Structure 1
């Protein structure tokens, strides 16, 4: 009564039939349609470094845009429900595409343990779980771990990020993943360094196929 629910993108009060974001913002959000158009834009970000079977992003990200506002609310203001909202949205779309229905396991990009304690949640968790549910796949957030903390360097060059970060991810166990088609999920792909580092570790597992899905891709 005293604190009406507001749109996570524009802060206007939501109508009774609206959830998370208002109808106008939902209509205006810059969807990519990469998975429908068979566009290889996400693959090109890591081209020549790791092999991806499939790759997509739900939305385009630009500075000071609505998508930045949504991701900021998700990561820094505790609005974890945005993660599930994006996951249900993208999951419903991927479910209609035969190639994505071959995915067997969904794995989120992990947070370092101190960051996880500070934030209280991995912002990709509900996104990944919703996609896994839509694709009738398993969700596994224990096999891929982050071994040291790194600072966010969103717009730094990919090569320098790779050299600075070194090997910051590792595999805890791989028996259950051998021969599987894995979908790695993250919030945003910018230079591709994080996806690249995670993929490099996951592709050490015998005979797997690896795909990638993110909430957004930086323009």
Structure 2
């Protein structure tokens, strides 16, 4: 083990790991994102069980228990760069690490509310094959690491491939996602409190559609968490 550590340190001396946000050198104990970038992150301070601007997005639309986001989305910021790395550049580790950090923040609240399973908003299989992974699953896995709440990525599927939500109006976003989700194993989810995960919430149309599908299952409760609030 000492030999492995020696060669790792030697390699990092010439090819240091970089922070995915600022591209600065990571210290040995840092993972993916440096401490300074984590401390500078424009966090919301929201918790899933307490009323906040994210939960208010869903008022009168879908009967969820609560919603929260880790940080505020800022255009052209290093945190937008992080999300771009996760979504388009194959940086699955960014999603896992951000999810882990988020999980440490909201974990106590999730356990108090008896959340028993984490479900990432699914991609259509064609889009997931093209990308190679579902970015929301990476976030869910990170939250699971921090909270020990299991992830279920098989009980909900996306049955319609939609066009991108970017630049659509609120009405267009809803029409674009209506009836696109299907439950494959409702009995498994019966009477559970589900934490539904996505990367960014803007109008909440996709999350609303997925939550509506889940709430058709007997006894299900749904809370929502996203990395960013746009």
1:83 aligned to 2:95?
Answer: yes
4+ long deviations beyond 4 Å = 98-101
Query: Once the 2 structures are TM-superposed, how far is the Cα of residue 158 of structure 1 from its aligned partner?
Result: 2.0
Query: Once the 2 structures are TM-superposed, how far is the Cα of residue 17 of structure 1 from its aligned partner?
Result: 3.1
**Contact 1:6-1:13 within 8 A present in 2 as well:** yes
Unpaired runs of at least 5, structure 1? none
Q: CA RMSD in A?
A: 1.9
SS in 1 for 2:63: coil
Task: Looking at secondary structure, tell me which structure has more helix per residue.
Answer: 2
In the superposition, relative to structure 1, how do residues 98 and 162 fare at CA in structure 2: closer, same or farther (>3 Å)? Answer: closer
Unpaired runs of at least 5, structure 2? 1-10
Query: Once the 2 structures are TM-superposed, how far is the Cα of residue 105 of structure 1 from its aligned partner?
Result: 1.0
Distance in 1 between residues matched to 2:66 and 2:195, nearest whole Å: 9
Aligned length: 218
- Alignment TM-score, normalising by the size of structure 2: 0.88
Residue aligning to 1:164: 176
- Alignment TM-score, normalising by the size of structure 1: 0.92
Residue aligning to 2:31: 19
Residue aligning to 1:46: 58
SS in 2 for 1:170: strand
Query: Once the 2 structures are TM-superposed, how far is the Cα of residue 186 of structure 1 from its aligned partner?
Result: 0.7
Higher gyration radius (CA): 2
Between stretches 119-128 and 195-204, larger displacement belongs to 119-128
Residue aligning to 1:197: 209
**Contact 2:117-2:149 within 8 A present in 1 as well:** yes
SS in 1 for 2:197: strand
Between stretches 24-33 and 36-45, larger displacement belongs to 36-45
Distance in 2 between residues matched to 1:140 and 1:101, nearest whole Å: 18
In the superposition, relative to structure 1, how do residues 53 and 80 fare at CA in structure 2: closer, same or farther (>3 Å)? Answer: same
Which residue, 64, 68, 91 being the options, matches 2:80? 68
Distance in 2 between residues matched to 1:210 and 1:104, nearest whole Å: 10
Residue aligning to 2:7: none
